[in-house]
A and B are shown apart, each in its own frame.
Chain A
Amino acid sequence: MKSSSPLKWFGSREGLYYLALAFLLVVILPLALDPFRLNMVGKYLTYAFVAIGLVMCWGKAGILSLGQGVFFGLGGYCMAMFLKLEASTPEATAIQSTPGIPDFMDWNQLTELPWFWEPFHSFSFTLIAVIGVPVLLAFVIGFAMFTRRVGGVYFAIITQAIAAILTILIIGQQGYTGGVNGITDLQTLKGWDIRTDEARTTLYFVCVGMLFLCLFAARLVQNRKLGRILVAMNAQEMRVRFSGYDVAAFKIFVFCLAAAFAGIGGAMFTLIVGFMSPSFIGIVASIEMVIFCALGGRLSILGAVYGALLVNAAKSGFSESFPELWPFAMGALFIGVVLAFPNGLAGLYRSYVMPLEDRLFKRSKPEPKTASAPAATKPSAEKADDYDPMITTYSPEKS
């Protein structure tokens, strides 16, 4: 979308949607919820990072990764390692046999910090690692797979296998990683106690801020030529390849982007929840992250955020009142989203609410919006000026 000035963008339909989301997250929820529930919303938002990444790599580029938990977990573990080292100063751990190392290492009779923990004493290194480690792994996997044109279902299963491998490794090597318990009891970030209510609220807003940064980054990719190429690759890979583009490079890029987002989400999760465990890396967690994206609408990054919020809110709600019904509901959600509304909530919104909006605002807004409502069946043949990412349609003929 060629917005002539950033301010004018806020007046456009897309800008209004972003403002609405910002209003919800920054004003409404903090006012309506107590710190405990707000903290939970913050947790849900960290999953939204992964969902946004999946919109980019799955929705746009058609690469389904069932192992995003790996990147989420790696980012989370990096942050956890930093926080744990900070909480394990020699003074705080004086009762251990070996003071100065995390408690779980002490129980496992380690006598010194393993070499790969050392760099995490530095906050700057940790920040780089939170993005860098997942991206590096994504690059290796992507390079190996995409240059050999592995895609689709095969790729998905291999990401599953990787999730399984990493889970087994982390759980087994408990001396180095905290094992199945994870890394717990994280207390301060550079001296600032992250467990108080005020800290939690602050972290919530930090998370919202990071989320918008990622949203804008995703939007940037989406709106440039890069984004179009990704969509084109998804629709007709051969043609894109014959047009001279290095398909593998684009796929690697978007996969790494998704990994970066997931890593940031993981780090935020560690800060907000106060610990990290291998249960987020495994297959089950990774597939759940896909459903957030699918429900929101796999082509809509804003939808991904709503999807993550709604599914998790439903999960908490159900588990408080009807715990035994939740797996049924979630299973039905998977099936329903795939069968009945493949464009998720964004698609439903687009089909039903947008026409209303058009009718309401047609007089007051002289926008040359050619987003004629029931173009639901038209494949993504958007014109250059008209490219509105909110309403790009997912056509079910291609997967």
Chain B
Amino acid sequence: MGTTDTNASVRSPGKRLGFRKSLMTLAASVMLATSAQAATPSTADVNTTDLAVTDDTVTVGILHSITGTMAISEIGSVQAEKLAIEQINESGGVLGRQIEFVQEDGASDWPTFAEKSRKLLRQDNVAAIFGAWTSASRKAILPVIEQYNGMLYYPTFYEGLEQSPNVVYTGQEATQQILAGIDWAVKEKGAKSFYLLGSDYIWPRTSNKIARKHIDKLGLKVVGEEYYPLGHTQFNSVINKIKLKKPDVIFASVVGGSNVAFYKQMKAAGVDFTDEKPLLLTISVTEDEIRGIGGDNVEGIYASMKYFQSLDNPNNNEFVAAFKETYGDDMVIGDVTQAAYLGPWLWKAAVEKAGSFDIDKIREEFAGIEFTKAPEGYVRIHENHHLWSKTRIGQAQVDGQYKVVHETEELMEPDPFPEGYQ
């Protein structure tokens, strides 16, 4: 880059002086050239697998549901991912390249997720996919992404039992959420009896299996376990059963529209969660859900998550401010939204550590990557592609926010295939 200039000066003054000078300028220009190359590595070096990388840009894919029943939940993730990408671009991009994204709509339909992921990988050659929300959509994407060697950054807290080399799970898996939550209830609230209630599909069923095993291990009692179909709206019977059994803790993993019905009907039945008993501990109600349920219907319930919007640390304050500035003051940010925000940053960290966009190369670098600017504080990627993170217990307030009442001292190790819980 600087060589053209030095060419001129090589020929100028006296031969002896000129020679030394030219040697120095030659050396200087070589150093300049190599350092300039280190700032923006050539595309040939960083991309040996035909990904959509140019000298100035790199393309990634965003794959969430913008239409259909899941749109309610996935919009927050899309917003978070776009915000992260924007912020990364402002700070110089990844390996000197600006991030461009292709957004596809999964339409709440699992085959569409599979089809779109295939399109993103085969036609658009994206370097990373940020997407999926439900386990079903992730399962649909999984064979595609393993076949074409892509990398998915998956934000939702889920049931575990998976560890794919082509997925980074930025949300908690079940043991992180559940074990810490139950331990807290037992230790801090003296809970002895539990009633497990969930929607009828894999996540609540698996979560309750883990919960039950843990409760048995602690020598305590499970007094009921119930499942209702997705979309079910009449909970009076189970509310009566709960009143009959009088459990210390109701462990709730109800999702979707059923959530709204359940909490409204609980409240109408006179159950007041601000009382000490029964205590309701949920793993499925984030700030997003409270928007639909209404703060006064869930006031007093506890949730076990790794992130709450009300977390008071400098990272989160900045994050919440930036989110609200971009998307509006009345935005709420739930656990999954924050986990989605982590995705692009973790990808960037891995790429820069590996010095390449190649999936195989960045995969080798995942284990141990830390992100200290995470809104939840600090996370670290485990070699099983999940995240070390703290678990927090929050109590829902009338205004729809959670007040953090407990935080694990240590980071919880992710364990998607827990021994003894299988």
Flag if B104 contacts A179 (CB, 8 Å): no
Flag if B115 contacts A182 (CB, 8 Å): no
Residues of A within 8 A of B82 (CB): none
Flag if A40 contacts B115 (CB, 8 Å): yes
A107 to B110, CA, bound (A): 21
Given the interface pairs A171-B201, A174-B201, the reply to whether A181 lies near B139 with Cβ below 8 Å is yes
A171's contact among B118, B140, B200, by CB below 8 Å, is which?
B200
Flag if A277 contacts B200 (CB, 8 Å): no
A133-173 interface bits toward B, Cβ cutoff 8 Å, 1 = contact, 0 = none: 00000000000000000000000000000000000100110
A171 to B136, CA, bound (A): 11
B interface residue count range (under 10 / 10 to 19 / 20 to 34 / 35 or more)? 20 to 34
Residues of B within 8 A of A379 (CB): none
User: Does B111 lie at the interface of the complex (its beta carbon under 8 Å from any beta carbon of A)?
Assistant: yes
User: Does A326 lie at the interface of the complex (its beta carbon under 8 Å from any beta carbon of B)?
Assistant: yes
Flag if B114 contacts A174 (CB, 8 Å): no
Residues of B within 8 A of A181 (CB): 110, 135-136, 139-140, 202
DSSP class of B's interface residues: helix, strand, loop or mixed?
helix
User: Does B161 lie at the interface of the complex (its beta carbon under 8 Å from any beta carbon of A)?
Assistant: yes
Flag if A172 contacts B200 (CB, 8 Å): yes
- Segment of A53-61, A221-229, A317-325 in the binding face: A317-325
List residues of A (4-20) whose CB comes within 8 Å of B's CBs: none
Of listed B105, B134, B135, B142, residue having the most chain A CB within 10 A: B105
Flag if B107 contacts A184 (CB, 8 Å): no
User: Does A357 lie at the interface of the complex (its beta carbon under 8 Å from any beta carbon of B)?
Assistant: no
A173-213 interface bits toward B, Cβ cutoff 8 Å, 1 = contact, 0 = none: 01000011110111100000001000000000000000000
Flag if B107 contacts A323 (CB, 8 Å): yes
Give the total of A residues in contact with B, Cβ under 8 Å.
32
List residues of B (107-123) whose CB comes within 8 Å of A's CBs: 107, 109-112, 114-115, 118-119, 122-123
User: Does B206 lie at the interface of the complex (its beta carbon under 8 Å from any beta carbon of A)?
Assistant: yes
A362 to B130, CA, bound (A): 60
Flag if B110 contacts A324 (CB, 8 Å): no
User: Does B209 lie at the interface of the complex (its beta carbon under 8 Å from any beta carbon of A)?
Assistant: yes
User: Does A109 lie at the interface of the complex (its beta carbon under 8 Å from any beta carbon of B)?
Assistant: yes
Flag if B205 contacts A182 (CB, 8 Å): no
Residues of A within 8 A of B200 (CB): 168, 171-172
List residues of B (20-46) whose CB comes within 8 Å of A's CBs: none
Given the interface pairs A168-B229, A180-B201, A326-B67, the reply to whether A277 lies near B111 with Cβ below 8 Å is yes
Could you tell me which B residues sit within 8 Å of A by CB distance? 66-67, 104-105, 107, 109-112, 114-115, 118-119, 122-123, 134-136, 139-140, 142-143, 147, 161, 200-202, 205-206, 209, 227, 229-230, 422
What are 10 A-B interface contacts by the 8 Å CB criterion?
Answer: A97-B422, A171-B201, A171-B229, A277-B111, A279-B111, A319-B67, A320-B105, A323-B105, A324-B67, A327-B67
In the A-B complex, the 7 residue pairs with the closest CB atoms? A323-B105, A180-B201, A181-B139, A107-B161, A172-B200, A181-B136, A184-B139
